[in-house]
């Protein structure tokens, strides 16, 4: 008998003897109770290691090849052995980044040693189980094919298809948590700035799954606008959690620099781009908090709950103004905003983004841009991802047609060009791109408003 199968049957037997403790679905894979078995366990040729997609299977079965060949997660650990990582480590006084938790926590499936089974190795980087959960308890029913999605999740598979859970998972590494966080010190040592948008990054991760009719029967899959909106709200929650976390939020008496707009300090002085923003209310020459996700949550709420949107704007203005008063004032203002947006993620999740609403969201994204809300590079970058997401969802829903799609594409290319290099970014060029997007969709929007 094939060794892998013997192992599987062993696990099957084991799990029927041992009373499996049901994990709370939202526990991130890194912190769950289950043993992690390693990529080899998932990548058997009869499981997820097929060279080509299986013809008669709705699950592709070649996930491991896609991941290994194309997915950056598979090389995340190797990255820690490269020149840039060694430079960062040297600047921080870290001897070997491939052995240090500071780096491994995001660049590998760094579960505690007691949770690593025989075939487990850190060298595999961000593995299947780093996203799908330690397989100890779900592998049995999963291989035997006796459980549906619900049973798999109850046995500890992480609900990656659900946008809230997925946002928390991805952001745990693409933003940070209370246990792993990139400070300005680590950025200063040379770590790249992190940027993330849930719907866009879900689409850019090389797909090892296919969302077709069969998939939709087995699992729920939210449209791009909802995924995007939830991603923004969860990102704001994570930011406010960090701003109110005494372990992460200070640098001396001031807030950690990592919460600020990087390019407020880091762009060439010959590239003059400061513009007043009413929603911030700060004078020239003052670094501003990076509020890109907050601005985009205001876009979402301007459609979902305009009254709440207004309160977020007011609280955010106070947050901006408190940042110069010091860490305590910032903490208090962040706490207030956190209370204001309590429950907003669930509210968005319950909201159905109909065709008319998608148009409204796109319209709001454009109007915020024309009112100067994307002056910061990071906000412009987020807005570009956001407009891209909404446009794709509208295309999928058949709301944009032939000639319009072409025009929108040309205008989107202008937007991507305007945010291509952060140091060269000019808000006025970005506004021009937004105007072109507006012109391209105007006719369709008028039709869908009727």
N-to-C CA span, the chain: 65
Is there binding between residue 358 and ligand HEC (CB under 6 A)? Answer: no
State how far the Cα of 72 lies from the Cα of 279, in Å rounded to an integer.
37
- 300 closest CA partner among 226, 400, 377, 214: 226
Closest CB to ligand HEC among residues 228, 448: 228
Closest CB to ligand HEC among residues 134, 309: 134
x/- contact string, 163-192, with ligand HEC (CB under 6 A)? ---x--xx-xxx-x---x-x-x-xxx-xxx
User: Binding-site residue total for ligand HEC (CB under 6 A)?
Assistant: 70
- 416 closest CA partner among 207, 200, 205: 200
Interface pick for ligand HEC out of 53, 75, 251, 347 (rule CB under 6 A): 75
State how far the Cα of 207 lies from the Cα of 189, in Å rounded to an integer.
33
Applying CB under 6 A, the span of 70-78, 325-333, 388-396, 414-422 interacting with ligand HEC comes to 70-78
Interface pick for ligand HEC out of 27, 147, 209, 372 (rule CB under 6 A): 209
Interface pick for ligand HEC out of 9, 12, 25, 193 (rule CB under 6 A): 193
Interface pick for ligand HEC out of 215, 244, 338, 397 (rule CB under 6 A): 215
**Phi, psi of 256, rounded to the nearest 5 degrees:** -50, 135
Is there binding between residue 89 and ligand HEC (CB under 6 A)? Answer: yes
- 349 closest CA partner among 167, 157, 212: 167
- 379 closest CA partner among 424, 412, 425: 425
Q: 250: part of which helix (H) or strand (E)?
A: strand 250-251
- Residue 257 CB, shortest distance to ligand HEC, in Å, is 5
How many CB atoms within 10 Å of residue 423? 10
Interface pick for ligand HEC out of 9, 25, 27, 194 (rule CB under 6 A): 194
State how far the Cα of 284 lies from the Cα of 303, in Å rounded to an integer.
31
- 189 closest CA partner among 72, 100, 297, 315: 100
Closest CB to ligand HEC among residues 36, 360: 36
Interface pick for ligand HEC out of 8, 23, 103, 344 (rule CB under 6 A): 103
Interface pick for ligand HEC out of 23, 128, 235, 445 (rule CB under 6 A): 128
Closest CB to ligand HEC among residues 67, 445: 67
- 427 closest CA partner among 260, 228, 232, 277: 277
Residues 227-286 contacting ligand HEC, CB under 6 A: 257-258, 260, 262, 264-266
Contact at 8 Å (CB) between 423 and 267?
yes
Is there binding between residue 67 and ligand HEC (CB under 6 A)? Answer: yes
Give me the torsion for CA of 271, 276, 281, 284, rounded to 10°. 40
**Phi, psi of 289, rounded to the nearest 5 degrees:** -60, 145
Is there binding between residue 414 and ligand HEC (CB under 6 A)? Answer: no
Closest CB to ligand HEC among residues 61, 448: 61
- Residue 432 CB, shortest distance to ligand HEC, in Å, is 26
Q: 255: part of which helix (H) or strand (E)?
A: strand 254-255
Contact at 8 Å (CB) between 48 and 61?
yes
Closest CB to ligand HEC among residues 322, 359: 322
How many CB atoms within 10 Å of residue 365? 27
Closest CB to ligand HEC among residues 89, 345: 89
Is there binding between residue 366 and ligand HEC (CB under 6 A)? Answer: no
Closest CB to ligand HEC among residues 167, 412: 167
State how far the Cα of 203 lies from the Cα of 199, in Å rounded to an integer.
6
The residues of the shown chain that bind ligand HEC, judged by CB under 6 A, are: 39, 42-43, 48, 58-59, 63-64, 67, 72-73, 75-76, 79-80, 84-85, 88-89, 92, 94, 97, 102-103, 105-107, 126-128, 130-132, 160-161, 166, 169-170, 172-174, 176, 180, 182, 184, 186-188, 190-195, 201-202, 204-205, 208-209, 215, 219, 257-258, 260, 262, 264-266, 287
């Amino acid at each position: 008998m094939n060794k892998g199968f013997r192992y599987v049957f062993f696990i099957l037997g084991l799990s029927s003897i041992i009373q499996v403790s049901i994990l709370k679905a939202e526990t991130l894979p890194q912190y769950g109770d289950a043993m992690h078995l390693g990529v080899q366990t998932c990548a058997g040729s009869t499981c997820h290691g097929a060279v080509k997609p299986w013809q008669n299977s709705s699950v592709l079965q070649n996930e491991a090849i896609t991941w290994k060949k194309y997915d950056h997660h598979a090389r995340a650990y190797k990255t820690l052995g490269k020149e840039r990582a060694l430079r960062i480590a040297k600047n921080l006084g870290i001897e070997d980044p491939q052995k240090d938790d500071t780096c491994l926590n995001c660049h590998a499936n760094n579960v505690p040693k007691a949770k690593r089974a025989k075939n487990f190795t850190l060298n595999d980087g961000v593995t299947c189980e780093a996203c799908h959960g330690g397989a100890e308890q779900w592998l049995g029913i999963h291989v035997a094919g006796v459980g549906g999605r619900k049973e798999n999740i109850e046995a500890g598979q992480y609900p990656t298809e659900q946008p809230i859970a997925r946002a928390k998972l991805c952001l745990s590494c693409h933003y940070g948590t209370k246990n792993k966080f990139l400070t300005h010190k680590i950025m200063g040592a040379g770590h790249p700035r992190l940027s993330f948008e849930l719907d866009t990054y879900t689409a850019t991760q090389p797909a090892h799954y296919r969302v077709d009719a069969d998939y939709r029967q087995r699992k729920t899959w939210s449209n791009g606008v909802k995924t995007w909106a939830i991603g923004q709200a969860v990102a704001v929650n994570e930011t406010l959690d960090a701003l109110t976390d005494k372990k992460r939020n200070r640098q001396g008496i001031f807030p950690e620099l990592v919460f600020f707009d990087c390019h407020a300090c880091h762009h060439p002085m010959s590239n003059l781009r400061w513009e007043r923003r009413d929603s911030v209310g700060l004078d020239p020459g003052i670094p501003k908090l990076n509020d890109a996700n907050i601005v985009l949550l205001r876009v979402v709420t301007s459609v979902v709950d305009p009254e709440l949107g207004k309160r977020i704007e007011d609280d955010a203005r106070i947050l901006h103004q408190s940042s110069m008063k010091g860490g305590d004032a910032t903490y208090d203002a962040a706490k207030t905003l956190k209370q204001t947006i309590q429950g907003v993620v669930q509210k968005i999740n319950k909201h159905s983004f109909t065709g008319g609403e998608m148009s409204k969201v796109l319209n709001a994204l454009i109007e915020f841009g024309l009112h100067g809300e994307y002056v910061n590079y990071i906000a412009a970058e987020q807005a570009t991802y956001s407009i891209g997401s909404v446009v794709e969802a509208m295309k999928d829903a058949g709301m944009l047609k032939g000639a319009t799609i072409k025009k929108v594409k040309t205008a989107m290319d202008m937007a991507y060009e305007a945010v291509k290099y952060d140091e060269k970014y000019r808000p006025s060029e970005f506004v021009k791109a937004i105007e072109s997007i507006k012109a391209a969709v105007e006719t369709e929007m008028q039709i869908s408003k009727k």
